[in-house]
Structure 1
Amino acid sequence: MSHATDIGADRLLGMSRPELDRLFRVSPPGEIPQGKGLGTVLLGLSPKTNAVAAVLARRLTWQGKVFEPDGRELRNLVTPFGIRAVRARVYRDSSWSDDGACIVLDYTHTSFVAHWIRDEIRSVGQGVYLGNVYWGRRKVLDFILTFGDEPT
């Protein structure tokens, strides 16, 4: 699949939060991913701060997400050991950011610890998804999911 944007994960680490928001708004939802996506937290601050935060988050708390082959559920890879936990339903719906199509990762009915969390992802490049994290209806964080050979 070719993208008008086709941005790699390394470039996303250098973007500000407004730049990430604009990119999310113009990106298509893409196909629902399958398999393991390497996760990278994006703070939308300086490139150096983003890189340090991404490494710390990956080593200590969150390594990514594993999508089931049927595309209807996922589990997060958490703790330094990459334990598969914190399940979410996966489906297409309208984004809370702009009402456009996105892929929703919904924890409402699947997780006691994250029932107030909703993630939305859109494809920004080959095997690269940009995500928004909502706590209730408030956007609190951005992240990247990278599938395949794309380095982070």
Structure 2
Amino acid sequence: MAYDVQQLLDMSQQQLDELFRASPPGEIPNGEAAGTAIIAPGTHYTESIAKIINFFGWQGKVFDAANGVLKNKVSVLGVEAIVAKVYLGSSWLDNKPCIVLDYSETSFVAQWIRDEIRLISPNFYLGKVYWGKDRLIDFCLQF
């Protein structure tokens, strides 16, 4: 099944978790991806929060698969900053393979953050964000 951002924004946390668990890691992506934060999934606030975050804070990620790194696109200007290492690893959600976006050695401001992504449709990834070992939010990336 092909998914789009709106479908994910309309899902509950349980549905997002089930989709993540059922999806393969996919290949480490390369290039620029538009990102959408998924906060308060399944509520009528989710879409509004995502729009505010996209405008003011985070627009997506730019992957360099050959070097195993990425940069986040942040601020109103879409500045490329906040670097992460990118590699295949085991998910903290279900211990199955995923693509890990690891900030622990590359970013002072995000050193406690770990993202995990899995491919849910062609060129479309669902992600989980952790602060330490605590889950924070979900997000998606469209290439």
TM range (shorter): over 0.9
CA distance in 2, matches of 1:7, 1:105: 22
- In structure 2, the CA distance between the partners of 1:69 and 1:25, relative to structure 1 (3 Å rule), is closer
Give the alignment's Cα RMSD to 1 decimal: 1.0
- In the alignment, what sits opposite 1:75? 71
Equivalent position SS for 1:110: coil
Give yes or no for contact 1:65–1:76 (8 Å, CA) kept in 2: yes
Equivalent position SS for 1:7: coil
CA distance in 1, matches of 2:142, 2:47: 15
Give yes or no for contact 2:28–2:65 (8 Å, CA) kept in 1: no
Instruction: Give the ranges of 4+ consecutive aligned residues of structure 1 lying more than 2 Å apart after TM superposition.
Output: none
Aligned-pair identity (%): 47
Q: 2:139 aligns with which of 121, 137, 143?
A: 143
Flag structure 2 segments of 5+ consecutive residues without an equivalent.
Answer: none
- In the alignment, what sits opposite 1:84? 80
- In structure 2, the CA distance between the partners of 1:100 and 1:69, relative to structure 1 (3 Å rule), is closer
Give yes or no for contact 1:9–1:128 (8 Å, CA) kept in 2: no
TM, length-normalised to structure 2: 0.96
- In the alignment, what sits opposite 1:42? 38
Give 1:10 deviation, angstroms: 2.0
CA distance in 1, matches of 2:104, 2:133: 12
Flag structure 1 segments of 5+ consecutive residues without an equivalent.
Answer: 148-152
Give yes or no for contact 1:41–1:54 (8 Å, CA) kept in 2: yes
Counting matched residue pairs gives 142
TM, length-normalised to structure 1: 0.90
CA distance in 1, matches of 2:65, 2:37: 24
Give 1:6 deviation, angstroms: 2.8
- In the alignment, what sits opposite 2:107? 111
2:22 is aligned with 1:20: no
